[in-house]
Amino acid sequence: MEFDRNKITPEIMMKVETVLKNPEYSYAKAYTASKAATGMFKWVKATRDYFYIFKEVEPRRDAFMLSNK
């Protein structure tokens, strides 16, 4: 399955944040549920971290690319 993490919208990220803020959704609970749930939990958190880093770096990257033309 393909997933373009560079095209996550702020609306989707708001939904993800709502889920992650839920105290019932934690690494410990995912770990006790299954290995698959643990992997998904790690993936969602890593994707969220990437979203915020990319949001900060993208304008700088674009400006750099334009300055080198």
Domain that holds residue 43: 8-67
Is 43 domain-assigned? yes
Structure tokens at 13: 């990220």
Of residues 21, 17, 11, the one with CA closest to residue 47:
17
Sequence-distant (≥ 6) Cβ neighbours of residue 30 within 8 angstroms = 37, 38, 40, 41
- Give residue 68's identity as a one-letter amino acid code: N
* Residue 11: predicted pLDDT: 94
* Residue 42: predicted pLDDT: 93
Is 28 domain-assigned? yes
Number of structural domains, the chain? 1
Please tell me the pTM assigned to this model. Answer: 0.76
H helix runs in 1-69, sequence order? 10-21, 27-33, 35-67
* Residue 60: predicted pLDDT: 87
Is 3 domain-assigned? no
Is 2 domain-assigned? no
What is the chain's mean pLDDT, rounded? 89
